[in-house]
Every structure is written in structure tokens, then in C-alpha cells.
Chain A
């Protein structure tokens, strides 16, 4: 089976700066890939290459085996959704309106009632139903991020009516969220993966990557330096070399310091 989205030796340079260099990566349906790495490693650039937002200056990015650049934007929107890092809006759209924008362009075959249903469902799954009529501008950073996640869920739901295979790209999706909503968002992404979507998430927390990902991709200075199942990739020497910290995998804090580690499906109703 061909990968849904694939980077094939993809590079991206601006002048002499090599933001991404020779990246090979395949996103397959049902798999959750976590991309980790220090600041400036090229993680976000890789996401932008895979989303089609940037065209690679070297190598190729493929969707279902065909070059991404040849696929028109409205078709691409049915095949993949992207959750960006949270941003502010200049106009006072309500939360419900922002979520509805997610399915404006897609699912034109849907009637009004079906659209309302999709929007309500996305609002509920992103846990923003109670904010639906609030102005987006009045939200906290975390609430705004969850609203954007709701928009992405609406886009995917609308896209599912025309495409059977989809990918979800998440660029540091949990940076502004509290613990509960971090886990809830990743649980939701994980469930989408189990339902057959190809998931890629840029994460900073190695524990979260280890818990949720089927495959961890480690980047440094624009290159992918390791990739594989969490237990093969996350090793003492790699953490030391890539992140520059003297930490050991699975080490319990000295003394009686408590520690809290994440796991799946830990959020209480």
C-alpha cells in the first residue's frame, strides 16, 4: 500500500540555510508519527512541506504516490488537515463560526442540516461547545487552540464524505494547553489514527511522544537522525546527543520527589 503522504529526499533551503535536508518519511493510514527535536531542527518546516504549503527545493513530496504540487488546493483540503500553532484573529468571529469555516470549502454536497450536525459534533469533541457563541478574540490561548482543533475536526469530517484516506498534521498542538486538554487532544488524535487516519504531530514532550506515537522521528539541524518505535529510538545516547541534556531513560528522580507521567485515556469526564 502506498503511503498517504511521503517525503522522498525532500529538502528546503533559503539561501545558504538548509532548513530541511534529505528527509525521508512516510505517513501510513492508522499510524501515529511523532516528530521531536530541539528548537530550529526543522520540524515545522517539515510539516509545511508535507502540507503542501512549501514546495521542496530538492527531492519530492508525494500524496498517494503523485507529486503534491500537482494537486489543486480544494482537493488537498479533503485529503489532509493541519492544526497550526494558535494565532489571533483580527475580526470577532464566534467559536462556532471559526469551526464552520473548516467545512465551508469542502463538503459542498452536504445540506444545511448535515453541516450543522458536523459543526456541533466538532465543537463537542474539541470541548468548546460551551464557548460556541463567544468571540474567538476573547478566548484564552488554550481555548483558542481547542477551537482551531474543532475547525480541523470539522474539515476532516467534511472531507470524509469525499475521500476515504486522510492525514492530520499537528504542529506543536498542545503548547498552550493545560494537562487535561493536552491529553484529551492527543487522545482524540490517537482515536482518529485508530479510525484509519495517518497522524503526524510535532511534540516537545518525549514522554507524550513515547505514550502516543507508533513511530518517533528525531530531527536535528534539518536532518532526520533517527526514526522507529519509541523504545528503539528514545535511548540515553540519542537524548544526550540530540537534546544536549544528561538525562537517562526511565530514571526515577532521586529522593522522594514526586513525578507524574502521562498515559492514554487518563482524562476524567
Chain B
């Protein structure tokens, strides 16, 4: 298979720099588009002006203040949340291109935790607003439990069985889904509506307050991910081989599980479970830039962010002034892609 875009003669470091710079530019373009497009369209030049000069004082142009409110208060947090959420990764740990958080039940576990807070929160905490930190905490616990369980089930003597993992993931997702369904059954009308729209996934609830809770978490994981890249590369050869090459395997696995659960938990808490981004993005990138995690992890974070924000733009524009839940858009694009992947690369499942 020689589907690599870049020539092998190009110096690897230069190639990495070019790839990351290109993706960075893509993120910038999508971000400006996301800030400008929507029910009220604002020209890109005006968006950039607002970003550079900040909020205008009371002036001769009342529209500018309106645009500033739209860009800075409404669209900015949702764009930033989208960029951050797009970066959750799982595949390196399971050494398989089909391991996507949504596919193998990790997102479902996380969603169950969060649904518990939405529906049962008032019964436990009493009336009044539920502290926002409760939702990510529950989502994180759900994601962690699902990841640990999945890994324990699918891995025997250091080898992860792909068939077992996918089947166990389906079972876990069904189990968590049943739990979420049960919560829906006992919830009142308002909770039910919250729950339904939340499980479809959306960036519309993003506010600066929510961003402030999850941003440090996700930023820390993104900053730490390059440190895991070398271990993940060696783990592709197998756990025994990684140990022979000097990787402290159990420690690396625990760190990765923790990072996965944190990233998925935080993402699900702000945006709901969003399917297929984690499957499509790393796979496409692997085909074009190769599987080296040192480049793949940062590149996937950038590309995932760009894709999610782009999907969010589509979700806002298609039925404007209303908006589609984001999860519907990503699944509409991601599910056919996944089927195509299965048809084209049957060998993946036998690995």
C-alpha cells in the first residue's frame, strides 16, 4: 500500500512541520468561518477585526456591537469547545484502527454517567442549579469504567483480541444504553427533552463557563499526548516487544487509559456523545501521513477540531435559523465512511 501523499525522500522533520502547519491553517480558516457563519452572517474581515481589536466601545455603528456579541459571546466558546472536543483519541491503546470511543462503548459509558446527573441530579442535590462540575465528573467516571472494563475483557496475556473488543464494546454500549434508557423512563418532561437533545450531541450549549471547566483538562491531555507517542509506537509491535524496547508497558497503558477517559469524559460533558469523529479522523490521517504517533497525535487533534467545527457549521446552516444536533451530522458522514472502510479493508478485522 503506497497511498502516502508525501515523498519518503523528504526529511521527516520537515514533512512533520509542513503537515502540522497545513492543518493549523485549516483550523484557522474553519474557525473564522465558524465565527462568521450562522443565522446571522458576518464577513470574515469583520470577524478577524473583532478578534484583533476586541469588543468595540459604544460608537457610531450599532451593528458592530451586535456582531461583537454574536462572535465573542456565542460563537467563540462553541468554536473553541469544538476544537478541543475533536481531539479525543483511543486507537493507539488498542492497536486497532476500528477502536473509536463511540464505537466500543466508551462514549456510552460516559453518556450514562452524565445522564445520571441530568436526571437524578435534583433528587440528590436538591433544588437549584446543579454545579456544572458534576456533569464532567460523572461523564469521566463513566468513561473510565467503560475503558477499563473493555480493556480487561479484550486483552488476554498482553494481546488485545479485536473481535472480542468490538463485541464487548457493543455489549457495553447496549448495557450503558439500557441504563440511559431507564433514566429516560423515570425522568420528567423537561429532563427527557434535555436528555434527548444532549445524547444527540451539540455544541449549542457551549458557554465561557463550561469552557473554563473543561479547557484546562483537555489542554493538559493534549500537552501530555506527545509524551505517550513513543510508547504507543512501540506498543503497535506488541506489549512484549514494547517491553523489550524499554517501555514501562503497564505504566504507559494506565496513563493512556486515564487520558482516554479524561478526554472522552470532558468532551461528552460539554458536547454530548458525538460519533465517528474519533474513527474517521485518525484513519484518514494514517492513510496520508503514516501511523507514527509522534506526528499522528497532534495532527489528529488539529484535524479532529477542524472537522467537528466544520460539522457544527453545517448543523447550523442546513436548517437555519434552527439547528441540527451535531451528532446527527457527524454520524451521517461517519457511518457510511465506516461501512466503506469495512468493505475496502476486510483484512483489518483479521489482524
* Inter-subunit contact B290/A77 (CB<8 Å): no
* Inter-subunit contact B351/A93 (CB<8 Å): no
Query: Which residues from B are CB-within-8-Å of A45?
Result: none
CB-CB nearest in chain A for B287: A92
From residue 239 to 264 of chain B, which have CB atoms closer than 8 A to chain A? 240-241, 243-249
**Contact A155 B245, CB 8 Å, known A90-B95, A90-B351, A93-B291:** yes
Q: How far is the CA of A171 from the CA of B9 in the complex (A)?
A: 34
Query: Which residues from B are CB-within-8-Å of A84?
Result: 238, 240-241, 244
Q: How far is the CA of A90 from the CA of B160 in the complex (A)?
A: 11
Count class of interface residues, chain A: 35 or more
CB distance from A119 to the nearest CB of B (A): 11
* Inter-subunit contact B243/A73 (CB<8 Å): yes
**Contact A91 B95, CB 8 Å, known A105-B230, A135-B1, A135-B2:** yes
Query: Which residues from A are CB-within-8-Å of B248?
Result: 72-74
- Whether A61 sits at the interface, judged by CB under 8 Å, is no
* Inter-subunit contact A90/B348 (CB<8 Å): yes
Query: Which residues from B are CB-within-8-Å of A94?
Result: 8, 290
* Inter-subunit contact B233/A104 (CB<8 Å): yes
Query: Which residues from A are CB-within-8-Å of B241?
Result: 82, 84, 87
- Whether A145 sits at the interface, judged by CB under 8 Å, is no
* Inter-subunit contact B245/A93 (CB<8 Å): no
Most buried by A among B13, B230, B290, B291: B291
Query: Which residues from B are CB-within-8-Å of A73?
Result: 243, 246-249
CB-CB nearest in chain A for B350: A88
- Whether A265 sits at the interface, judged by CB under 8 Å, is no
**Contact A89 B237, CB 8 Å, known A74-B246, A104-B245, A105-B230:** yes
From residue 190 to 231 of chain B, which have CB atoms closer than 8 A to chain A? 230
Most buried by A among B1, B240, B246, B348: B246
- Whether A11 sits at the interface, judged by CB under 8 Å, is no
Cβ proximity bits A119-151 to B, threshold 8 Å, 1 near / 0 not = 000000000000011110110000000000001
CB-CB nearest in chain B for A137: B1
Cβ proximity bits B96-111 to A, threshold 8 Å, 1 near / 0 not = 1100000000000000
Contact of B230 among A52, A80, A104 (CB under 8 A): A104
Cβ proximity bits A210-252 to B, threshold 8 Å, 1 near / 0 not = 0000000000000000000000000000000000000000000
- Whether B73 sits at the interface, judged by CB under 8 Å, is no
Query: Which residues from B are CB-within-8-Å of A48?
Result: 240
* Inter-subunit contact A101/B351 (CB<8 Å): no
* Inter-subunit contact A101/B233 (CB<8 Å): yes
* Inter-subunit contact B95/A112 (CB<8 Å): no
**Contact A82 B244, CB 8 Å, known A104-B234, A105-B230:** yes
**Contact A105 B2, CB 8 Å, known A91-B97, A92-B286:** no
* Inter-subunit contact A102/B290 (CB<8 Å): no
* Inter-subunit contact B96/A90 (CB<8 Å): yes
Query: Which residues from A are CB-within-8-Å of B243?
Result: 51-53, 73
- Whether A78 sits at the interface, judged by CB under 8 Å, is yes
CB distance from A85 to the nearest CB of B (A): 10
Q: How far is the CA of A252 from the CA of B244 in the complex (A)?
A: 42
**Contact A87 B238, CB 8 Å, known A92-B291, A104-B230, A112-B13:** yes
**Contact A77 B244, CB 8 Å, known A92-B286, A92-B291, A93-B291:** yes
Q: How far is the CA of A102 from the CA of B234 in the complex (A)?
A: 8
- Whether A192 sits at the interface, judged by CB under 8 Å, is no
Cβ proximity bits B34-65 to A, threshold 8 Å, 1 near / 0 not = 00000000000000000000000000000000
* Inter-subunit contact A89/B236 (CB<8 Å): yes
CB distance from A122 to the nearest CB of B (A): 14
**Contact A105 B247, CB 8 Å, known A94-B290, A97-B292:** yes
- Whether A35 sits at the interface, judged by CB under 8 Å, is no
CB-CB nearest in chain B for A83: B244
**Contact A51 B351, CB 8 Å, known A91-B236, A92-B1:** no
* Inter-subunit contact B237/A105 (CB<8 Å): no
CB distance from A154 to the nearest CB of B (A): 10
- Whether A3 sits at the interface, judged by CB under 8 Å, is no
CB distance from B114 to the nearest CB of A (A): 31
CB distance from B350 to the nearest CB of A (A): 9
**Contact A92 B290, CB 8 Å, known A53-B240, A105-B234, A135-B2:** yes
CB distance from B224 to the nearest CB of A (A): 18
**Contact A51 B245, CB 8 Å, known A88-B351, A91-B97:** no
Q: How far is the CA of A230 from the CA of B236 in the complex (A)?
A: 38
**Contact A77 B240, CB 8 Å, known A88-B351, A90-B96, A101-B233:** no
CB-CB nearest in chain B for A97: B292
Query: Which residues from A are CB-within-8-Å of B97?
Result: 90-91
From residue 281 to 309 of chain B, which have CB atoms closer than 8 A to chain A? 286-287, 290-292
CB distance from A83 to the nearest CB of B (A): 9
Query: Which residues from A are CB-within-8-Å of B291?
Result: 91-93, 97
Query: Which residues from B are CB-within-8-Å of A74?
Result: 246-248
Q: How far is the CA of A93 from the CA of B130 in the complex (A)?
A: 48
Q: How far is the CA of A192 from the CA of B286 in the complex (A)?
A: 36
* Inter-subunit contact A97/B238 (CB<8 Å): no
Q: How far is the CA of A90 from the CA of B233 in the complex (A)?
A: 11
Can you list 5 residue pairs at the A/B interface with Cβ under 8 Å? A73-B249, A76-B246, A90-B236, A94-B8, A98-B237
Give A contacts to B, CB under 8 Å: 48, 51-53, 72-78, 80-82, 84, 87-94, 96-98, 101-102, 104-106, 112, 132-135, 137-138, 151, 155
Other A-B pairs, 12, CB within 8 Å; known A77-B244, A91-B236, A98-B237:
A53-B240, A53-B243, A73-B243, A74-B246, A84-B238, A84-B241, A88-B351, A90-B95, A90-B97, A94-B290, A101-B236, A135-B2
